[in-house]
Amino acid sequence: MTVSITAPPGAPARRGPAPGPGSDPGPDPRLDLDELAGLRTVPARHPWRWGIGIAALVVLAQFAHGLATNPGWDWATFRVYFTADTIVQAVGRTLELTAYGTLLGFLLGAVVAGMRLSRSAILRSIAWAYVWVFRSIPLIVQLVFWFNLSYLYKRFGIGIPFGPTFGDVETGGVLSALGAAVLGLGLHQGAFAAEIIRGGIIAVDAGQREAAAALGIPRWRQGWRIVLPQAMRGILPAAANEVISLLKGTSVVYVMAIGELFYQAQVVYGRTGRVVPLLMVATVWYVLLTTVLSIGQYYVERYFARGAQRTPPPTPLQRARAFVRARPARTPAAARTPGGRS
């Protein structure tokens, strides 16, 4: 008698523990795979997934309903002030602060990141100290400091260090409130930007720089042409975060009485007492600006991703166009035309 691995035709098939009543009789050793071709496949059902999804939608609908019907939101006032001149001007001021802060911050950040990666121990130490100091001081504290700079340094001059001065002016004349705000935002941003840029650079495979060095490519060009474009992929998502948080961070500048969005909203509700609608005005503007920045981020990232994937995925716009174009093909008339792409 030989031992057979497959069960004899009449014997019950081997089962897992505790088979439920009425379940199918386990793997049949004589399963005919060819026979399966004609059968209909029934997708697995997920009742809980649907249930939880619908419950979440109900909660969301309730919130949306509240937004629309609760008189506290006071949408009429919102409409009046959303496009009011003072608010639009304040949005411009917010954008101005963001742009200058980003520019100064990332310029400083690039320089500091370069210093931290340099082979000079002195530059490395200075850069480390800069990052240490400006990451440590809360932005709002720093802004108030700059605002009061003229208390510390009455006059501002250019000359030989520790030596004679060629000429000087009053600090208040050089550093307006706006200048102080941009300086504060930029210095604060620079510390974070430096670390983001440095992070992107050190994430690039060391073999890239080595290959460039082996080819005799000059050092600055190794960085600019070979390393930095690849580092950008790592830098961009974090950098976009920083720009967006700077955009919102400009609201802190209200302490310096600069007419940016949040300050202006406060001025209006201080006068009219309509706090909530004015906060909504500021909120919606911030969301709009962030949306624009996020869309910009998508396309910039896409540009720096070239070569990273075998075939770059279509943009949402391209996808939408392809979808629209694909539509008519589904009608019977179009389906008959030859050469239709799937």
Partner 1 sequence: MTALAKPAPDTAAPMVQVRGLHKSFGQLAVLRGLDLDVPAGSVTVVLGPSGSGKSTLLRAINHLEKLDGGYVAIDGELIGYRRSGDRLHELKEREVLRQRTDIGFVFQNFNLFPHLTVLENLVEAPIAALRRPRAEARTAALALLERVGLADKADAYPRQLSGGQQQRVAIARALALEPKVLLFDEPTSALDPELVGEVLDVIKDLARTGTTMIVVTHEIGFAREVADTVVFMDGGVVVEQGPPAEVLDHPRHERTRAFLAKVL
Binding segment for partner 1 (CB under 8 A), chosen from 89-97, 226-234, 251-259, 294-302, is 226-234
Number of residues that bind partner 1 (CB under 8 A): 24
Instruction: Provide the minimum distance between the beta carbon of 251 and partner 1 in the complex, in angstroms, as a whole number.
Output: 37
Q: Is 218 in the site for partner 1 (CB under 8 A)?
A: yes
- Of 227 and 247, nearer to partner 1 (C-beta) is 227
Distance CA 139, CA 135 (A): 9
Instruction: Provide the minimum distance between the beta carbon of 237 and partner 1 in the complex, in angstroms, as a whole number.
Output: 17
The 3-class SS string of the chain reads: CCCCCCCCCCCCCCCCCCCCCCCCCCCCCCCCHHHHHHCCCCCCCCHHHHHHHHHHHHHHHHHHHHHHHCHHHCHHHHHHHHCCHHHHHHHHHHHHHHHHHHHHHHHHHHHHHHHHCCCCHHHHHHHHHHHHHHHHCCHHHHHHHHHCHHHHCCEEEEECCCCCEEEEEEHHHHCCHHHHHHHHHHHHHHHHHHHHHHHHHHCCCHHHHHHHHHCCCCHHHHHHHHHHHHHHHHHHHHHHHHHHHHHHHHHHHHHHCCCCHHHHHHHHHHHHCCHHHHHHHHHHHHHHHHHHHHHHHHHHHHHHCCCCCCCCCCCHHHHHHHHHHHHHHHCHHHHHCCCCCC
Instruction: Provide the minimum distance between the beta carbon of 299 and partner 1 in the complex, in angstroms, as a whole number.
Output: 17
Q: Is 221 in the site for partner 1 (CB under 8 A)?
A: yes
Binding segment for partner 1 (CB under 8 A), chosen from 27-35, 41-49, 68-76, 201-209, is 201-209
Q: Which of 140, 174, 217, 255 binds partner 1 (CB under 8 A)?
A: 217
Q: Is 202 in the site for partner 1 (CB under 8 A)?
A: no
Q: Which of 13, 64, 203, 211 binds partner 1 (CB under 8 A)?
A: 211
> What are all long-range contacts of 306-314, with beta carbons under 8 Å and residues at least 24 apart?
308/233
Q: Which of 59, 215, 287, 317 binds partner 1 (CB under 8 A)?
A: 215
Q: Which of 154, 225, 319, 325 binds partner 1 (CB under 8 A)?
A: 225
Q: Which of residues 105-134 bind partner 1 (CB under 8 A)?
A: none
Coil, helix or strand at residue 31: coil
Enter the tokens of residue 11: 């014997």
Instruction: Provide the minimum distance between the beta carbon of 221 and partner 1 in the complex, in angstroms, as a whole number.
Output: 5
Site map (CB under 8 A) of partner 1, residues 291-310, x = contact: -------------x-xxxxx
Binding segment for partner 1 (CB under 8 A), chosen from 29-37, 94-102, 225-233, 266-274, is 225-233
CA atoms within 13 A on the CB side of 317: 3
Q: Is 214 in the site for partner 1 (CB under 8 A)?
A: yes
Q: Which of 114, 172, 223, 229 binds partner 1 (CB under 8 A)?
A: 229
Binding segment for partner 1 (CB under 8 A), chosen from 216-224, 262-270, 286-294, 316-324, is 216-224
Q: Are 82 and 281 in contact (CB under 8 A)?
A: yes
Q: Is 219 in the site for partner 1 (CB under 8 A)?
A: yes
Instruction: Provide the minimum distance between the beta carbon of 202 and partner 1 in the complex, in angstroms, as a whole number.
Output: 17
Q: Is 307 left (phi over 0), alpha (psi -120 to 50) or beta?
A: left
- Of 226 and 256, nearer to partner 1 (C-beta) is 226
Instruction: Provide the minimum distance between the beta carbon of 313 and partner 1 in the complex, in angstroms, as a whole number.
Output: 14
Binding segment for partner 1 (CB under 8 A), chosen from 26-34, 164-172, 184-192, 214-222, is 214-222
Q: Is 203 in the site for partner 1 (CB under 8 A)?
A: no
Contact footprint for partner 1 (CB under 8 A):
205, 207-208, 210-219, 221, 225-226, 229-230, 304, 306-310
